[in-house]
Structure 1
């Protein structure tokens, strides 16, 4: 008799639990806890909670990896606005990137991480139109800066700099509306200038200078219709 009672209780619990998920309100909107599996399987695709048709709290999304549900994305919904905090994961539950989204576009600060490490790889900021705005930084796994660049409206605008893993400046370019424009320099591993000149609208312009071991070895004139396109100097 006791065994029968336990079986009935278990069946009733499962039945009630099933009735409590994937429900609709009187207006036909999703309400309460919802889950969904990949079609034709019992592998979980997502789980979360709705409040009269609006996502509430944390939603978890999964990938189907060899027949197993592996967490790939979490979305944190705010009841007071349309901004969603999003975190992406790799197959080992390490964070790949995280930031905010609104109307399915990236906004605000986003942070990206190196593989399997947790160290910050890149930081960038998006405006309300989903365009990169302001300073973007890229880091070596050791934490040193690898690249920093300025953006405006999603395109490069201003100074861009690249550094070696020892912190030595190796390139410096200037951009205007996404095109190379202004002074440019390249350096060797010791910090000596190897090349310098000016760009105008993505094209080299004027006299460019080339160096070896810190000494000027060649000059080239890129001015349009120049009568003197090459100049050389002895080492």
Structure 2
């Protein structure tokens, strides 16, 4: 190697050394600052990579899992400098998006979307409050996009009318909830739309007269009043 080649080699090497030295640095207060990259213990397989600004995540972070000694992307988080909110996306091993939404620290907030494994069709659409609790409409869909379930949450507890649907769009069952407990009218339907069962719940137990239908006619009745009055003697 002649002197010219040595100078070229050193010129090319200096940026590389500088970049290597600038990774995983701390600021004067001991906080992570600049580009950080961490591997799984005792391996060269990257676990996460991203940029800090005096201890705060900014920009795009990538998180990986180790599969067959290879780093496979499992999640991304897009941070900003203003707050702790991050746009989060989770991935399957084949790169398909599993779910996405907003996180505040470890809490889901706002609208979250979960997808079916075999397609890009939405499976579940949920809403969270600023405390990370389910709050608002929660919708579940069949793989063809048909609505399968509709419930409403208030601070992680189901409230009000909840409906389940058959794949043909007909109602399957209807419940009413109060503070997370079954409470109120309940109805069950056959796939073609005929009423099959109806009755009432009280504090998560069947209560009063339940009616059972066959071929559109009342075929049986059961009285659950005695069971709802005794919390230690439940009956399905």
What's 1:228 paired with? none
What's 2:192 paired with? 190
For structure 1, the residue ranges without an aligned partner over 5 or more in a row are: 226-235
Q: Does 1:221 align with 2:227?
A: no
What's 1:86 paired with? 88
Deviation >4 Å, runs of 4+:
none
What's 2:172 paired with? 170
**CA-to-aligned-CA distance 1:15-72 (integer Å, 9 cap, x gap):** 1220221122222221111111111111111110111111111110000111001011
Mapped partners of 1:154, 1:83: distance in 2? 21
TM-score, scaled relative to structure 1: 0.91
Mapped partners of 1:13, 1:57: distance in 2? 23
TM-score, scaled relative to structure 2: 0.91
Which deviates more, 46-55 or 17-26? 17-26
What's 2:181 paired with? 179
What's 1:32 paired with? 34
Alpha-carbon distance, 1:224 to partner: 2.1
Mapped partners of 1:199, 1:76: distance in 2? 45
Q: Note if contact 1:94-1:116 (Cα within 8 Å) is conserved in structure 2.
A: no
- Count of residue pairs the alignment pairs up: 226
Mapped partners of 1:17, 1:78: distance in 2? 23
SS in 2 for 1:27: coil
What's 2:61 paired with? 59
What's 1:211 paired with? 213
Mapped partners of 1:153, 1:74: distance in 2? 27
Equivalent residue for 1:16, pick from 15, 18, 33: 18
Alpha-carbon distance, 1:144 to partner: 0.6
Mapped partners of 1:13, 1:5: distance in 2? 14
Instruction: Calculate the aligned-residue CA RMSD, in Å.
Output: 1.6
SS in 1 for 2:186: strand
Q: Which aligned pairs between 1:48-127 and structure 2 lie closer than 5 A?
A: 48-127=50-129
Alpha-carbon distance, 1:116 to partner: 3.6
Alpha-carbon distance, 1:6 to partner: 4.4
Alpha-carbon distance, 1:195 to partner: 0.1
**CA-to-aligned-CA distance 1:134-177 (integer Å, 9 cap, x gap):** 21000011001000011111011111111011111010011111
Q: Note if contact 1:150-1:159 (Cα within 8 Å) is conserved in structure 2.
A: yes
For structure 2, the residue ranges without an aligned partner over 5 or more in a row are: 228-236
Q: Note if contact 1:161-1:172 (Cα within 8 Å) is conserved in structure 2.
A: yes
What's 1:229 paired with? none
Which deviates more, 26-35 or 53-62? 26-35
